[in-house]
Amino acid sequence: MSLLEIKNLEVEIDGKRILNGLNLTLEKGRVHAIMGPNGSGKSTLAYVLAGKSDYDVTGGEILFDGENVLEMAPDERAAKGLFLAFQYPVEIPGVTTMTFLRAAINAQRKKRGEAELSSPDVLKRVREEAAKLGIDPEMLRRPVNVGFSGGEKKRAETLQMSLLEPRLCVLDETDSGLDIDALKVVADGVNRLRSPERSMLVITHYQRLLDYIVPDVVHVFSKGRIVRTGSKELALELEANGYAGYLEEAA
Amino acid sequence: MKPMSAEIRPMKTAAEQTLARTFASAKDRLPGTGAIEARRASAFHRFEEAGLPHRRVEAWKYTDLRALMREAKPLAPLPDAAALARAKEAGQALAAIGARRIVFVDGSFAPELSDLADLEPGLRIASLAAALAQGVPEIVARLSGTGLADGDQAYGLNTSFMGDGAVIEVDPGHTIARPVHLVFIYAGDQASAVFPRSLVLVGEASHLTLIESHEGPDALDYQINTAIDLSVGDEATLDHLKIAVEGRQALHVSTVTATVGKNAFFRDFALTAGGAVVRNQIFLRCMGAGTNIDLRGASLLSGTQHADTTLVLDHAVAGSKSRELFKSVLDGSSRSVFQGKIIVRPDAQKTDARMMTQALLLSETAEADAKPELEIFADDVQCGHGATTGALDDKLRFYLMARGIPAKEAEALLIEAFVGEVIDGIVHEGAREAVRALMASKLEARGQV
């Protein structure tokens, strides 16, 4: 059985159609990239997978490990192992990063019927993973993402992903706002998480990220659906020729 | 043409009539004679002329006590053995602080539940009723003189009926490390009225942390009208925390008056998380140059709760600094009111005053009213005020949920973060953590509803 199956998905926001009969199947252990021009619906797909309520799903279905996720609240989806690395992680004043991580880890464990981790255990795990990502322990005492640079925010997202050990990672424009050094650190973090049990959906506008996170399959997105699917070489072709041809094809 | 309405005194309400009968029958057995008796009589006379405050009295505009207080309860009897037994667990939510507990049951001092052993040098604690009955001259003089809040009807009612309370004195030059906790519990089995009055004198260059907690049963519509007069000497520091978690049907009216001396620090924190109608009023005067004032409050309201914070902050002399931060979290059809008046008198140059009030509305039917007032008569001052009202940010809520945190827990985290800024200002670490834990348990209860 596939880990993720999206069938004929139709999504609107404020009456405007964004996803237009999207079909996508992702097997366990595979990394798929979704590339496409701005406004093609890539981020909408990421948000709909995570369960953001601003969108109306008007048709189709999303099966995660055979279960219909459209009926689940965002926290239930997360506990099932679905993780969205946000393009723009929000700042949460007054909630320290450590408090937030402990709450997230234990909420998921509780929902899965596992024992909650003690504060010292959480602290130990967070410190280990943070060190691998070059995150200053001082950052963990600061409120979530408050005053973090673009690079720090993306590292923090990667840290959350490592700690929560999801089965499906959806990376929404993880490369945006990163310089090349930060991009390498984040990509290394993501690559460490690649495993036969874990799948990834890497959403990006540019081919650059895919030099570091090398996908098994590349999809080209236009006007709310996939218009072409190919190997990783497809990304290089897009980089050379741009999206112009696909915009016409989808029209 | 002269406005007529100011001249017309409407018919007395049932509550006002009951209060008059109660005063007539009780005045001879209330503690104190002579000057105290005269002071009670004049205070009640003034009350009778004005009646219960109502919406046309500007200071009570949003809390129409005449409408909200349908009846006046009889004065609470002395607590019986059953009430004292029920009171044993009072104030336990703050037990971790390890404070010296002074317990008042239905307004009466309960020595058997209080800890007066081994008082620190320089610290004296007594029962107000005892001091008035004995006619201790200094106490009688303090309480029969004019007070900062004399023009206020609720304070006037307290002065008329004041029963028991604490008299706390710290001699000059003493730092009392262990906080003093005044525990007020309503433990009667009938609804009645209680008028506690306390007096706190912190001598020059002394330091005291004073905690007041108020609690009672959900099943009774009892009435509390409490007042505390604080005097902070020159160079002294007083931290005053008031934790009011009254029963769901209770009426709680509280007056704090404070005079603050030269270069002194006065910090006041109030948490309101219970009661049907709550009024917290603070009347404060900076008496000497260089005073530092920090007033904070947090209200967690739900159902049809109504909580009003009204401040009158009088900068009478130069070079004082004041900060006010009040936040309310409103669920259901609850309502919060904030009125903050800062007066800067002509001589109070270099005053630095800043006031902020923020409301977080968790439902469509909650209401927050904010009325900051600045009356500035000096020309070289810095004064500012701000007010915000908003809902929880859906983006933050979604982010937390996307990490597996359930909706109610996510909301609790965001609410804690919102109120946390107020609690962070509590200087005593144990008290700060106890208040934080109390708030977390209140928010957890919200999640279970």
**Which domains are present in chain A?**
4-95+168-250 (3.40.50.300)
Using the predicted structure, report yes or no on whether residue B1 has a pLDDT greater than 60: no
Domains held by chain B: number: 2
> How far is the alpha carbon of A198 from chain B, nearest alpha carbon, in Å?
17
> How far is the alpha carbon of A160 from chain B, nearest alpha carbon, in Å?
8
Single out the residue in B268, B288, B308 at which a domain terminates. B288
Single out the residue in B288, B313, B345 at which a domain terminates. B288
Report residue B339: phi and psi, to 5°.
Answer: -125, 120
Helix (H) or strand (E) holding A59: strand A56-64
pLDDT of B10: 63
Which pLDDT tens digit goes with each residue over A104-128? 999 999 999 999 999 999 999 999 9
Q: Do A51 and B401 touch (CB under 8 A)?
A: yes
Rounded Cα gap, residues B235 and B303, in angstroms = 43
Using the predicted structure, report yes or no on whether residue A249 has a pLDDT greater than 70: no
Q: Do B417 and A92 touch (CB under 8 A)?
A: yes
Contact B40, B189 (CB under 8 A): no
A150 to each of A12, A157, A191, how far by Cα in Å?
Answer: 30, 11, 20
> b/e map of B329-350 (b: 16 or more CB within 10 Å)?
bbbebbbbbbbbbbbbbeebbe
Whether B7 is covered by a domain: the verdict is no
Same domain, B182 and B35: yes
What band does B303 get if pLDDT is binned at 50, 70 and 90?
very high
Using the predicted structure, report yes or no on whether residue B5 has a pLDDT greater than 60: no
Rounded Cα gap, residues B53 and B59, in angstroms = 9
Q: Which position has the higher pLDDT, A175 or B359?
A: B359
Whether B333 is covered by a domain: the verdict is no
Least trusted range by pLDDT, from A16-25, A40-49, A205-214? A205-214
Instruction: Determine the 3-state secondary structure of B14 from DSSP.
Output: helix
If you measure CA to CA, which chain A residue comes closest to B424? A94
pLDDT of B8: 56
Rounded Cα gap, residues B105 and B214, in angstroms = 10
What band does B6 get if pLDDT is binned at 50, 70 and 90?
low
What band does A248 get if pLDDT is binned at 50, 70 and 90?
low
Pairing mode, if any, of strands B197-202 and B223-232?
Answer: parallel
Contact A172, A84 (CB under 8 A): yes
Percent of chain A exceeding pLDDT 70 equals 98
Range of the domain at B398: 392-449
Pairing mode, if any, of strands B382-391 and B352-361?
Answer: parallel
Query: How big, in percent rounded to 5, are the helix, strand and coil portions of chain A?
Result: 40, 30, 30
Q: CB distance from B123 to chain A under 8 Å? A: no
Same domain, B106 and B225: yes
pLDDT of B108: 97
Rounded Cα gap, residues B103 and B200, in angstroms = 16
Contact B419, A95 (CB under 8 A): no
**Nearest CB partner across the interface for B402, out of A78, A111, A143:** A78
ipTM for the complex shown: 0.96
Same domain, B283 and B416: no
* Cross-strand pairs, B238: B208, B266
The arithmetic mean of pLDDT across residues B31-59, rounded, is 95
What band does B244 get if pLDDT is binned at 50, 70 and 90?
very high
Q: Do B414 and A75 touch (CB under 8 A)?
A: no
**Could you say which DSSP state residue A7 is in?**
E
The arithmetic mean of pLDDT across residues B117-125, rounded, is 97
Please provide the average confidence, as pLDDT, over all residues in chain A: 93
Same domain, B49 and B193: yes
If you measure CA to CA, which chain B residue comes closest to A92? B396
Rounded Cα gap, residues B141 and B139, in angstroms = 5
Q: Beta-carbon neighbour count of residue B138 at 10 Å?
A: 12
Which pLDDT tens digit goes with each residue over A55-111? 999 999 999 999 999 999 999 999 999 999 999 999 999 999 999 999 999 999 999
Pairing mode, if any, of strands B352-361 and B321-330?
Answer: parallel
Whether B220 is covered by a domain: the verdict is yes
Rounded Cα gap, residues B442 and B254, in angstroms = 22
Q: Do B420 and A94 touch (CB under 8 A)?
A: yes
Please provide the average confidence, as pLDDT, over all residues in chain B: 94
Whether B221 is covered by a domain: the verdict is yes
Same domain, B148 and B272: yes
Single out the residue in B288, B317, B339 at which a domain terminates. B288
Q: Do B404 and A92 touch (CB under 8 A)?
A: no
Rounded Cα gap, residues B352 and B380, in angstroms = 10
Closest among B437, B295, B411 to B353, alpha carbons compared = B295
Which pLDDT tens digit goes with each residue over B354-402? 999 999 999 999 999 999 999 999 999 999 999 999 999 999 999 999 9
pLDDT of B344: 95
Whether B385 is covered by a domain: the verdict is no
If you measure CA to CA, which chain B residue comes closest to A82? B402
Whether B273 is covered by a domain: the verdict is yes
Same domain, B396 and B265: no
pLDDT of B118: 96
Q: CB distance from B445 to chain A under 8 Å? A: no
Which pLDDT tens digit goes with each residue over B276-285? 999 999 999 9
pLDDT of A244: 80
Residue whose entry in the numeric block shows the structure tokens 């059953």: B82
What band does B22 get if pLDDT is binned at 50, 70 and 90?
very high
Same domain, B266 and B409: no
Using the predicted structure, report yes or no on whether residue A251 has a pLDDT greater than 50: no
**Nearest CB partner across the interface for B399, out of A90, A99, A164:** A90
Whether B3 is covered by a domain: the verdict is no
Q: Do B417 and A143 touch (CB under 8 A)?
A: yes
Q: Do A79 and B404 touch (CB under 8 A)?
A: yes
Q: CA angle B280-B98-B139, nearest 5°? A: 55
Using the predicted structure, report yes or no on whether residue B449 has a pLDDT greater than 60: no
Rounded Cα gap, residues B328 and B319, in angstroms = 30
The arithmetic mean of pLDDT across residues A131-137, rounded, is 91
pLDDT of A1: 74
If you measure CA to CA, which chain B residue comes closest to A165? B403
Whether B217 is covered by a domain: the verdict is yes
Residues of chain B with Cβ-Cβ distance to A95 below 8 Å are: 413-414, 416-417
Rounded Cα gap, residues B105 and B183, in angstroms = 8
